[in-house]
């Protein structure tokens, strides 16, 4: 059996600790009961279900499970009969009859289960399915979603932007929290949940979000790997996340009705100066109008039902609010660095050209590989264009990697001498990335002439105000670094790009100078 992603396994353990049955977990995560049972046995054996212990981390799980082996893809035995099967399905022939005809007329010897698996993977139009209305207990569930509400003025950016309303609807009372925002990004998504919990004064046991990019990594019914930031938030607050199945809004009817209700009954026919103004009116509208209306399904006022029965059934709020660790994907470049915002962080060279997961906290940055193994950490940089580089992240047998960042060039120059360090600092003060190649060329001269000659050449270059690579190389070629500097340069010679000797003196026997 193929091993599940470590996040899925950890989610199974988390739900078992939260009291869900194997059947519930299988239904909510789209897993078979034997799969859930297998990982439950592992958790029991390792003591992961002991609620007095901290929740097991990904690193420990990976050590226990080992690397996931990808099973070879075996073509279906039905594949040679694909066209025939599709034609029979489109003609309305039931699968059992198709299987029997394959055996009788086409010599097929595979099982009926193989046919069912093959058909389940076909993207064919199906008859619409009926569904039953789900009733939830007090404090059990909240459904959340976004809806477009038009364009509003954003005072922070000073321009008109597309606006969206976030709606969280409690499944029992139908009481709502709503807020208008300008994006659906991870920080906004997390912050809206936090404010929703604070508004209700507690946390529902289960949250059903739409399959937003910020909430679910893969919009697949049977592979709901929760977005890392959202998953960590859920475990911090103690709620479970059951993503809505794609293209099946019947699983999320309460909140979609809530979004439409806000769109049609609050936004329609109204204009607001800004999103701030709209949110002030929206807060009042939820309490004074939406909260006291008689709901069409419960036939009771949502606010009254919430205060009487649901508020006390919610999970209590923790002492401190959740602090977001934003998660991004980044590719490791050939210089062994990733770019996060406008800053650069080194990554071990074995990850070059690979993608890593970057967890951004308030002060620290953590990097994980595809198997969620911790790769390295860095202090979060705040200055635009800053570099955080560790020498051990470079391969020892490829020194050229060490010359790829201004930070390392400055360190190397300082080891050669103060004049060399000053030259490099001055060059980087102009245009760091533009001057990088020139600085690297200057530092490579040390391999040819040694530390002392390069340091003396840089002293002469600084003395006469021209410290670029071409001039330093000319000083070395002419052996002018071996001569003492005067106390002060002649006034007529003290011009940019001039040296202590007249220009004719540069045209000397280069062979003699290089000895």
Contact 424, 377 (CB under 8 A): no
Q: Report d(CA 275, CA 300) in Å as an integer.
A: 31
Q: Report d(CA 182, CA 372) in Å as an integer.
A: 31
Q: Report d(CA 326, CA 344) in Å as an integer.
A: 17
Enumerate the β-bridge partners of residue 387: 344
CATH topology of domain 141-313: Nucleotidyltransferase; domain 5 (3.30.420)
Contact 141, 207 (CB under 8 A): yes
In the chain, % of residues over pLDDT 90: 30
Residue 495 has a pLDDT of 47
Domains 141-313 and 326-400 share a fold: no
- The β-bridge relationship of strands 141-154 and 206-209 is parallel
Residue 225 has a pLDDT of 44
End-to-end CA distance of the chain: 72
- The β-bridge relationship of strands 326-331 and 337-340 is unpaired
Q: Say what the pTM is.
A: 0.53
Tell me the per-residue pLDDT of 436-458, one tens digit each, with 9 for 90 and over. Answer: 888 989 999 999 999 999 999 99
Is the pLDDT at 300 greater than 90, yes or no? no
Classified as helix, coil or strand, 505 is: helix
Which residue reads 């106390």 in tokens? 487
Collect all residues with Cβ–Cβ distance below 8 Å to 261 and sequence separation of at least 6. 290
Tokens representing 458? 């840089």
**Most confident of the following: 49-63, 114-128, 387-401, 473-487:** 473-487
As a whole number, mean pLDDT of residues 156-171 equals: 90
- Tell me which of 95-104, 137-146, 349-358, 412-421 is least confident: 95-104
Q: Report d(CA 365, CA 388) in Å as an integer.
A: 11
**Most confident of the following: 10-19, 115-124, 360-369:** 10-19
Residue 185: φ, ψ to 5° = -80, 165
**What confidence tier does 61 reach under pLDDT thresholds 50, 70, 90?**
confident
Tell me the per-residue pLDDT of 318-334, one tens digit each, with 9 for 90 and over. Answer: 998 888 777 788 999 98
The 3 state secondary structure assigned to 5-34 is CHHHHHHHHHHHHCCCCHHHHHHHHCCCHH
In the chain, % of residues over pLDDT 70: 79
Out of 3.40.50, 3.30.499, 2.10.25, 2.30.30, select the CATH number for domain 326-400: 2.30.30
Tell me the per-residue pLDDT of 224-260, one tens digit each, with 9 for 90 and over. Answer: 444 667 788 888 999 988 876 554 555 545 544 667 7
User: What is the pLDDT of the chain when averaged over all its residues?
Assistant: 80
Any long-range contacts for 373-378 (C-beta under 8 Å, 24+ apart)? 373/58, 373/59, 373/62, 374/59, 375/347, 375/348, 375/351, 376/346, 376/347, 376/348, 378/345, 378/346
Residue 202 has a pLDDT of 96
In the chain, where the domains are located: 6-65, 79-120, 141-313, 326-400, 405-513
């Amino acid at each position: 059996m193929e091993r599940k992603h470590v996040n899925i396994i950890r989610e199974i353990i988390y739900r078992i600790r939260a009291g869900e049955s194997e059947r519930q977990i299988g239904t909510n995560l789209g897993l078979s009961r034997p799969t859930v049972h297998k990982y439950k046995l592992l958790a029991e054996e390792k003591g992961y279900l002991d609620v007095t212990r901290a929740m097991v981390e990904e690193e420990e799980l990976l050590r226990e499970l080992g690397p996931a082996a990808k099973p070879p893809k075996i073509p279906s035995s039905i594949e040679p009969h694909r066209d025939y099967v599709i034609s029979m399905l489109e003609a309305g022939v039931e699968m059992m009859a198709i299987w029997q005809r394959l055996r009788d007329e086409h010599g097929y010897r595979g099982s009926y289960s193989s046919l069912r698996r093959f058909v389940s993977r076909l993207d064919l139009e199906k008859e619409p399915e009926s569904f039953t209305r789900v009733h939830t207990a007090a404090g059990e569930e909240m459904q959340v979603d976004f809806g477009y509400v038009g364009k509003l003025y954003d005072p922070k950016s000073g321009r008109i932007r597309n606006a969206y309303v976030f709606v969280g609807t409690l499944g029992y009372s139908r009481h709502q929290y709503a807020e208008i925002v300008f994006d659906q990004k991870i920080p906004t998504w997390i912050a809206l949940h936090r404010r929703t919990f604070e508004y209700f004064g507690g946390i529902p046991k289960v949250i059903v979000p739409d399959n937003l990019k910020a909430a679910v990594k893969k919009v697949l019914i049977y592979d709901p790997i929760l977005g890392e930031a959202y998953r960590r938030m859920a475990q911090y607050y103690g709620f479970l996340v059951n993503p809505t199945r794609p293209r099946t809004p019947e699983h999320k009817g309460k909140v979609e009705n809530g979004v439409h209700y806000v769109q049609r009954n609050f936004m329609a026919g109204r204009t607001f100066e800004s999103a701030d103004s709209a949110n002030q009116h929206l807060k009042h509208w939820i309490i004074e109008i939406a909260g006291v209306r008689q709901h069409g399904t419960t036939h009771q006022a949502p606010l009254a039902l919430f205060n009487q029965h649901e508020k006390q059934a919610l999970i209590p709020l923790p002492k401190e609010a959740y602090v977001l660790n934003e998660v991004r994907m980044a590719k490791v470049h050939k210089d062994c660095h990733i770019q996060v915002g406008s800053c650069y962080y080194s990554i071990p060279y074995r990850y070059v050209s690979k993608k890593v997961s970057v967890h951004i906290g308030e002060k620290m940055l953590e990097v994980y590989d595809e198997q969620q193994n911790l790769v390295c950490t860095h202090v979060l940089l705040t200055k635009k264009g800053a570099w955080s580089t560790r020498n051990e992240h470079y391969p020892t047998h490829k020194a050229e990697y060490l010359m790829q960042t201004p930070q390392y060039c400055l360190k190397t120059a300082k080891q050669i001498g103060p004049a060399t360090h000053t030259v490099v600092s001055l060059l980087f003060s102009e245009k760091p990335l533009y001057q990088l190649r020139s600085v690297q060329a200057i530092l490579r001269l040390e391999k040819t002439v040694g530390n002392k000659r390069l340091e003396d050449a840089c002293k002469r270059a600084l003395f006469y105000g021209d410290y670029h690579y071409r001039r330093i190389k000319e000083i070395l070629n002419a052996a002018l670094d071996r001569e003492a500097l005067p106390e002060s340069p002649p006034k007529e010679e003290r011009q940019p790009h001039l040296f202590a000797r007249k220009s004719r003196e540069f045209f000397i026997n280069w062979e003699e100078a290089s000895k």
